[in-house]
Amino acid sequence: MENWHYISSELLHLETLQEIISQHKTLALSEEAKINIQKCREYLDKKMANDDQPIYGINTGFGSLCNVKISTENLSQLQSNLVKSHACGTGDKVPQEIVKIMLLLKIQSLSYGHSGVQLQTVERLIDFYNNDILPVIYTQGSLGASGDLAPLAHLSLPLLGEGEVYFEGKKVHSAEVLKHFNWQPIVLQSKEGLALLNGTQFMSAYGSYILLKAMKYSYFSDVIAAISLEGFDGRIEPFNELIHFIRPHKGQINTAKRMKELLEGSQIITQEKVHVQDPYSFRCIPQVHGASKDTIDYVKKIFKTEINSVTDNPNIFIESDVIISGGNFHGQPLALGLDFLAIALAELGSISERRTYQLISGLRGLPAFLVDNPGLNSGMMIPQYTAASIASQNKQLSTPASVDSIVSSNGQEDHVSMGSNAATKCLKVMENLERILAIELMNASQAIEFRRPLQSSEFLELFLKSYREEVPFVKEDRILHYDIVKSVAFLDSFVVELE
């Protein structure tokens, strides 16, 4: 069926993830995935029946309690207790779009047949996804090392008929939803609670969500920069491919190429210039935007690997007849990637704010603050303050989380990634970038009107015409908060084909 996505061993790309979400595809397990899950569970059951040796998290306690042996009759209770006791999240609620990605990624990870879960457990998670039953999860509580324990505990509570979910526009107790669908709570078997709670799906979902936005707003950074360049009466020479071929960073070359394409056919860019050179925020667009593009590409590779991985513990290998306790739940690769991504996104905002500042400075024949009768009108004076404030906050948020660590679980978990904190603050940086670019668009679209009757390129004129339907030219002072809100919504509404 066209609108189905079958969970299988086939690589899950970020672009596929975007397609699943945007097209509201229904999930189902492939036959291959069902067999993998069932074979692993059967192997584990036989292993437990024939071998009384302690196996971490299956018939022992957790963390520093790993040496406490648990009797067979208490194994199910052990897993249920684990989920309940670890549901210690607090703070803001995770956005529902990210919760849905968490569900998908947890299903994907469990489907490979190295986790020992029951088939019905995975199928219930799929039921939650397909019916938009989204567990209420909190942003604070994970150290990003034993997996995302607290967030994933909240993700798992509804399997037991515990905790809260969003359903049909309301927040309700999960027991009500189970009753609504006539579902019985899942009785967790040995290893299952640990398989659900160990994993990097909180960090992975945040990172995937941010990367999808980052690719879109990296493109918008170029488009809006091109409009600013036109408004500032900038020069085309810095985008000549000859410069970039002798310093051939991929992102730099691609940015210069895109800028030339965006400006093709423009009357403004081809008119004679009286100035010899532009400030760095215009002249170095390929070098700065390009470096951020290369960072986004690098972090994409990390997350592509992660979302196609098994990240719980211990892991079961049927063919080798071994159960291995290791550390695949440690979020260090993601933490480092998210910190690097935050820096790259903050820099796109930083250079954007500088272009806004140049545009309002009364240079190159533009009126001060891009408004007629400055003095009586403040024009675009204060949106630049707003952009500066947000850009400065992004600098503060770009302090790496991954260099921090706090000992937990009586020293058993003595190095942690803090990848969850890297994830939540990276999302804030991404949201801030959207606002900074929206403010640059307000200023750039205002500046270009003072170049009339000259026209920019056909594409940029169509883009500006569409924007002007939402945000009109500022003739005299008005409440610009609403213009910022509309500008953010305008950019958010655009569908950009991801590369």
Q: Give catalytic residues, as residue numbers.
A: 56
Using CA atoms, how far apart are residues 412 and 408, in angstroms rounded to an integer? 7
- Cα→Cα distances 319→114, 316, 370, Å: 11, 9, 70
Using CA atoms, how far apart are residues 499 and 478, in angstroms rounded to an integer? 39
Q: In this structure, are residues 182 and 131 in contact, taking their beta carbons and an 8 Å threshold?
A: no
* Cα angle for residues 390, 395, 400 (degrees, 5° grid): 135
- Taking CB atoms within 8 Å and a gap of at least 24, the contacts of 215-220 are 215/296, 215/496, 215/498, 215/499, 216/494, 216/496, 216/498, 217/345, 217/348, 217/430, 217/433, 217/434, 217/437, 217/491, 218/289, 218/292, 218/293, 218/296, 218/348, 219/496, 220/437, 220/491, 220/494, 220/496
Strands 322-324 and 315-317: antiparallel
- Cα→Cα distances 421→201, 253, 311, 397, Å: 14, 33, 19, 10
Using CA atoms, how far apart are residues 92 and 99, in angstroms rounded to an integer? 13
Q: Which residues sit opposite 374 in a β-bridge?
A: 377
**Helix axes 96-110 and 119-130, enclosed angle (nearest 10):** 150
Q: In this structure, are residues 416 and 332 in contact, taking their beta carbons and an 8 Å threshold?
A: no
Strands 170-173 and 164-167: antiparallel
Which amino acid is residue 409, in one-letter code?
Answer: S
